[in-house]
Amino acid sequence: MQAHPNDFLSSIDTSLHLPTLPHILLKLIRARSWEPGPINETSQIIKKDPALCARLMGLANSAYCSPPNKITAIDQALLLVGTESIRNTAISASVHYVFDQVKDVSIVSVLKQFWVHSLMCATLAKLIAEKTSYSTPDEAFLSGLLHDIGKLVLWANSSKEQYDKGLQPSRDKSDLLLASERHYGTTHYEVGAWMINQWRLQSFMADAVRYHHEPVNRILDALPLVKIVFVANALCSKTVEETGAGFRTAEEVFGFARSEAEGLISLAADEVKQAAESLEIELERPDASGGSVSEKDAEKVKDLVRAVREMSLLQGTLQNVLEAHGEESVLKVVAQGLQVLFDGCRVLFFLYDEQKDVLVGKGDTGADQDVRVQEFVIPVQRKKSLLAKSLSLGQPLDSFGHLAEVDLSIIDDQLNRLMGKDGMLCLPMLAHKEFVGVIVVGVEEAQFSNLPEEINLLTMFARQAGLALHAEIVRQTGAKSMQSSRLTVPSALAKKVAHEVSNPLGIIKNYLKILRLKLAKDSPAQEEIGIIDEEIDRVSAIVRDLSSFSEPGMQQKELVDINAIISDLIKITHESLLVHSGVQAHLDLGPSLPLVPTDKNGLKQVFINLINNAVEAMPKGGNLYVNTRFPSDGMGDEPEEDAKADQQYVEATIRDDGSGIPDTIKAKLFEPFVTTKGEEHAGLGLSIAYDIIRELNGALTCESDKTTGTTFKIVLPVGKRKSH
């Protein structure tokens, strides 16, 4: 039972990629004219392929583009859709081609014959339109190019079983014939017309496709575009009988003499031949039986597979580049990606210094980094070096002269010798037309043989690397600006806050005095109230200093018993914080800890921040370990590798057995506004603690992982080491 045409048409998925010759896909993804600007090479490639033209016209006339007037010209469609969308389409079609070979690997040969017939028909249609003074020859060309597009639509929407039954080319025809179209309940010309109608064009293009297999007597009174495509298709003959019929059709419809028709065919054939040569498509059939793949065609398939593999590698590397944090990480990922593409290559970076207008050597951030590269400072304006020329021109250059003729400078020769390779490739990094730097890849000349074919991908890779580095520069600049703006408190507001807060603090202190008078002198609560009273004094001092928050003043140092500070803080936080959170504190305080000349209030603030963080890291309860020690008393190694030889230090560590700090936070742990606690936390605690310890000439470090939790270590100087 045949399917109803409307049922079949409603099941067609027009978003599927129609098959395209690998030769054309290769040319597209390796085209050098993808940058925004006049469309030339891209347009010349796309307008010669029916599948890509159908995709382009569908995009241009879709709701996504919403053109005020429907588009019927290829160049207009390209300008409307944009090169980036077409590039994505070409890459997607290439991937689809490589990974969807289940239907028939010999489809290359069939597609080639289909392509030749479609382009021949399109060229003839345009020539006939010009000869008959039809107003829009380009519309005639596009109609001829798409006249058999329904065959590809059916092919793309068929299963392997359907393809084997109905879409295989017949033995006596060289183009892609639908030997069993009745199986679908429709024809390729009905499908093609239906597809074009989806674009809602103000054109009779769909009719030209629908009627190109009608009897000639029905065409005589049709509109001009229908006649043009009908005659063009008739002249694309394969046999002597068909050729004679085509000449008779041309004479009957347009009154062309045989010699005129032969002239049109000759001109069209020359144009198709030139197009095939430009796309490296071999026109001769490999054998009389058809369906097999020639060596050149098979090589094109391999090239496309290789190009898709390289794009996949680049895409994976680019993803890593975008996820890298910090300049060093970005450079390292870029170097690794290039070393995957060029096995055994050497990668160096030269970053642009805008103030000095020079390129500065950076190295490859690897284990074999040569510090000598940092001696290279290359002026850009003079354009003497290969690197400076590459950056100024914004295009890749190589020392072999394959990409462009070059004269190497002495500094280029020195760099070549430093890299220890036959030559080098310079890839400029730009972002929004601003200089970022140059990637220099040292390679052997044998590796360079296939490079011209891959240069477009490498250019894209370098451009993305430049964008990532530029984004990192912007991020760092923005972070500094944000830090400065957020830490600057308006003086008037600060004074108002200080005035308003001081009143309730004074009232609380008075009530504490009254409470102490009511208690017995030997009451245990007396000590706790004294601790609270000291904390209120500390809060008052902080509030008084609020107006100078963005510019911290000189710290008031005094001899402080660190063990006493820690013991007091554990006491006042025991009930309200530790017990409430299910956290048990374990103190191991060094018995012979010397007094430390330090800022007592600042040190309290540091310990409170670290204790609070530790408790919050254990929402289900856990253990808090607080230790102090004096390493100089034989309790261990020196606290810091960079400690001065004649200086003595004390250590304090605060450790929790929580889930640890995420790796994404570790690298910027002590930066302002970095937090894992949610939007209600400002993320200033660790930054303030770090600054306080640094102002005391000490050090605050952190170690953290998922299994052992987090440990913060504070190291503070206590004085000069005694001489023996």
Please check whether residues 496 and 443 belong to one and the same domain.
no
Residue 209 reports pLDDT greater than 80 = yes
Residue 483, in any domain of the structure: no
506 within some domain: yes
CATH number, domain at 627? 3.30.565.10
Give the count of beta carbons closer than 10 Å to the beta carbon of residue 499: 10
- Residues 33-37 have a mean pLDDT of 46
> Domain boundary residue among 507, 530, 548?
548
The secondary element (H helix, E strand) that includes residue 623 is strand 622-629
Read off the tokens for 291. 């369906």
Q: Is the dihedral of CA 339, 345, 351, 357 positive or negative?
A: negative
Q: Classify residue 484: in a domain, yes or no.
A: no
Tell which of 236, 260, 278 closes a domain: 278
Instruction: Say if residue 122 is in the same domain as residue 266.
Output: yes
β-strand 647-656 against 709-720: which pairing, if any?
A: antiparallel
Q: Residues near 718 by Cβ (< 8 Å), separated by ≥ 6?
A: 594, 595, 596, 597, 630, 648, 649, 650
Residue 349 one-letter amino acid: F
Q: pLDDT at position 201, please?
A: 74
**C-alpha dist (Å) from residue 230 to 203, 220, 223:** 16, 10, 11
Question: 191 is written with which tokens?
Answer: 């499908």
Q: Say if residue 179 is in the same domain as residue 249.
A: yes
Q: Where are the alpha helices (DSSP H) in 82-215?
A: 83-99, 107-131, 137-145, 149-156, 160-162, 188-197, 205-210
Long-range residue pairs from 675-684, CB within 8 A, at least 24 positions apart, any chain: 677/616
* Residues 193 and 308 grouped into a single domain: no
136 with 198, same domain? Answer: yes
The answer as to whether 404 is a domain residue is yes
Question: Which ranges in 279-368 belong to alpha helices (H)?
Answer: 295-323, 327-341
What whole-number distance in Å separates Cα of residue 476 and Cα of residue 227? 66
What is the per-residue pLDDT across 60-106, written as a single tens digit (0 to 9) for each? 776 555 555 667 777 777 777 666 566 666 666 666 665 555 445 56
Position 295 in a domain: no
Mean pLDDT check: name the lowest of 55-64, 439-448, 612-621. 55-64
Mean pLDDT, the chain, integer = 75
Entry pTM: 0.49
pLDDT of residue 37: 45
Q: What is the pLDDT of residue 231?
A: 95
**How far is CA 335 from each of CA 330, 345, 373, 473, 693, rounded to the nearest angstrom?**
9, 9, 15, 19, 38
Residue-wise over 32-48: b if at least 16 C-beta within 10 A, else e? eebeeeebeebbebbbb
Give the span between the Cα atoms of 592 and 596, in whole angstroms. Answer: 12
Return the CATH number at 59: 1.10.3210.10
570 found inside a domain: yes
Residue 648 phi/psi, 5-degree rounding, is -100, 150
**pLDDT, tens digit (0-9, with 9 covering 90-100), for 251-304:** 999 999 999 999 999 999 999 998 888 888 887 654 444 456 677 777 777 777
Same domain, yes or no, for 238 and 338?
Answer: no
Residues 439, 350 within the same domain: yes
Phi-psi bin for 538: left (phi > 0), alpha (psi -120 to 50), beta?
alpha
Please check whether residue 347 is in contact with residue 338, taking contact to mean a CB–CB distance below 8 angstroms.
yes
The reply to whether 292 falls in a domain is no
Q: At what angle do helices 386-393 and 410-419 cross, to 10 degrees?
A: 100
318 with 223, same domain? no
The predicted-structure confidence for 98-157, as pLDDT tens digits, reads as follows 555 544 556 777 788 888 888 999 999 999 999 999 988 888 988 898 888 888 887 777
Mean pLDDT of 577-602: 85
Nearest Cα neighbor of 568 from 598, 540, 601 is 601
What percent of the chain is modeled with pLDDT above 90?
Answer: 15
- Which CATH number fits the domain that encloses residue 441? 3.30.450.40
Q: Which of 446, 477, 508 represents a domain boundary (last residue)?
A: 477
> Do 164 and 30 reside in the same domain of the chain?
yes
Which pLDDT does position 472 carry in this prediction? 79
> What is the C-alpha separation between 160 and 53, in angstroms, rounded?
25
Q: Which backbone phi and psi does 182 adopt, to 5 degrees? A: -60, -25
Do residues 620 and 583 make contact, with C-beta atoms less than 8 angstroms apart?
A: no
What pLDDT band is residue 166 in, cutting at 50, 70 and 90?
A: very low
Instruction: Answer whether 578's CB lies under 8 Å from 617's CB.
Output: no
Residues 16 and 130 in one domain: yes
Tell whether 141 and 163 lie within a shared domain.
yes
* Out of 223-227, 247-251, 505-509, least confident range: 505-509
Residue 185 lies in a domain: yes
Number of domains in the chain: 4
pLDDT at position 425 over 80: yes
Please say whether the beta carbons of 96 and 17 come within 8 A: yes
Specify the higher pLDDT residue, 177 or 511.
511
Residues 20 and 102 in one domain: yes
Helix (H, G, I), strand (E, B) or coil at 431: strand
Domain extent at residue 111: 5-278
